[in-house]
């Protein structure tokens, strides 16, 4: 039996290699989208032509989203708890996650490769300051991670149950979950999370997802590229 914390073959690393997102499975293709849009005509196509691409563009342009819901993706995500919390706000996804009630193997913690400064006029924004190195602070973060893990293991060794002992683990503990979402809701997720307004860490995951799904929905990617959005 394989460990859940091992990324699938088709994955992209993020956060300086400390995290990753992988494509586990998918259902449907771009032909599925146009077939769903034309289902009332009772005809099916197995490949896309220029007319189909125009229809696909029209559907996205005019927010006719139901045909896109017939394409579904399942991802495996390895990320810090604070990113998991942001991700799970997207309630159109279905989630299952590794639980520290049942296992204490493969414990990992995220230490930022670079520390950013807080924006003075926007509570939700941060920025990179080339004069702010923060190496000593990163070392303290790493020490805090290790101390939290040591306390967790001490509690377990003393017989404390895992469901209580896990309460001492910090927000930058790495977790692994599966997330399944249809294409329409995934595009909404990417619009919000690959944005200048999104936290830098979750934006890396959104960018990685774009790389993973582009070979499956190349014309969808091309639509957004034509709109001047990076894909």
Say whether 148 counts as a known binding-site residue. Answer: no
Taking the C-alpha atoms of residue 219 and residue 53, their distance in angstroms, rounded to an integer, is 7
Say whether 100 counts as a known binding-site residue. Answer: yes
Say whether 166 counts as a known binding-site residue. Answer: yes
35's CB contacts (< 8 A; 6+ apart) are: 43, 44, 45
Pair 213, 23: CB distance under 8 Å: yes
Any idea which residues carry the catalytic annotation?
193
Say whether 105 counts as a known binding-site residue. Answer: no
Taking the C-alpha atoms of residue 28 and residue 10, their distance in angstroms, rounded to an integer, is 18
Beta strands, E only, the chain: 11-14, 19-27, 72-80, 94-97, 117-118, 126-127, 174-182
Taking the C-alpha atoms of residue 7 and residue 24, their distance in angstroms, rounded to an integer, is 9
Say whether 99 counts as a known binding-site residue. Answer: yes
Say whether 11 counts as a known binding-site residue. Answer: no
Say whether 93 counts as a known binding-site residue. Answer: no
Say whether 213 counts as a known binding-site residue. Answer: no
Say whether 87 counts as a known binding-site residue. Answer: yes
Say whether 90 counts as a known binding-site residue. Answer: yes
Residue where the block lists tokens 């941060």: 126
DSSP 215: T
User: What SS3 class is residue 123?
Assistant: coil
Binding residues: 66, 86-91, 97-101, 166, 188, 193
Feature table: binding site for FAD: 66, 89-91, 97, 188
List, as residue ranges, the binding site for dUMP: 86-89, 97-101, 166, 193
């Amino acid at each position: 039996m394989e460990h859940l914390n091992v990324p699938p073959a088709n994955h992209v690393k993020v956060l300086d290699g400390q995290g990753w997102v992988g494509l586990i499975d998918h259902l449907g293709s771009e032909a599925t989208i146009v077939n769903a849009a034309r289902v009332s005509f009772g005809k099916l196509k197995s490949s896309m032509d220029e007319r189909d691409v125009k229809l696909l563009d029209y559907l996205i342009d005019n927010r006719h989203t139901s045909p896109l819901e017939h394409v579904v993706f399942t991802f495996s995500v390895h990320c810090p708890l604070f990113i998991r919390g942001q991700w799970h706000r997207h309630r159109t996804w279905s989630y299952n996650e590794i639980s520290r009630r049942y296992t204490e193997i493969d414990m990992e913690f995220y230490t930022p490769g670079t520390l950013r400064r807080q924006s003075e006029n926007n509570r939700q924004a941060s920025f990179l300051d080339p004069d702010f190195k923060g190496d000593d602070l990163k070392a303290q973060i790493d020490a805090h991670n290790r101390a939290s893990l040591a306390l967790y293991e001490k509690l377990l060794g003393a017989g404390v149950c895992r469901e209580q002992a896990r309460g001492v683990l910090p927000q930058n503990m790495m977790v692994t979950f599966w997330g399944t979402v249809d294409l329409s809701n995934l595009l909404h997720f990417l619009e919000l999370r690959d944005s200048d307004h999104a936290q830098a860490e979750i934006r890396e995951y959104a960018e990685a997802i774009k790389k993973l799904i582009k070979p499956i929905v190349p014309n969808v990617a091309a639509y957004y590229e034509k709109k001047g959005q990076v894909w």
